[in-house]
Structure 1
Amino acid sequence: MKNNVKKVVILGSGALKIGEAGEFDYSGSQAIKALKEEGIYTVLINPNIATVQTSEKLADKVYFLPVTPYFVEQVLKKRLSKKIRQSLFLFDFLPEKVGYIIDI
């Protein structure tokens, strides 16, 4: 991967029902592993402590918070530089149960 991406925020699989957690958790954990192999710092937001994604030492930083616009905004404000924060706007809606990778 040849680009200038140094850090990403991954919105994890969140709260899931029994039987549907596996594929969301697996894809998110594989994304984290691939990014880390490329030397990219990973920040995960996921309220579910019972996932592979939230395992110790997988992501560089884990926030056990709901994947909602409010909490995502709070993490981005904390993790982003002041210059970037001034131009940041968030989506009014984030579909549930979808893992996004936000280049920061």
Structure 2
Amino acid sequence: MTRLFIKLIGFILLLAGVYFLGKNIIFASHYFPYYWRNLPAMGSVLAIMGGVICLMFFRRETGTFGAFLLGLGIVLVFMSGGVILRQTSLWNFFVGFAALAGGYKLLNEGRINF
């Protein structure tokens, strides 16, 4: 029961870290009159979907290819201009990163070494 409680706390910390780090990132979409101008946006969606499918369902066979597709998708998101990064304070970044790292450590190992 204690182990389940530690995993639950780790998961909650992981979600809090993602929230604090991701609340200043805005994903926007644009309307383009020509089909060829939104190719990076369309490619990013397809690459991220393909990468997630490779990593979730075919990890042994295509794990490296899935990671490559995820990286390509992230690069294409920034190329499409659909990501706006707002300013964040150092405190928000510290709290978010600490919660993310602590939650990951609790989920994997069940304890945090200081």
Which of 1 and 2 has greater Rg?
2
Q: Which has the higher helix share?
A: 2
Q: Which has the higher strand share?
A: 1
TM-score by length of 1: 0.28
TM-score by length of 2: 0.26
Point out which structure has higher relative CO (alpha carbons under 8 A, 6+ apart).
Answer: 2
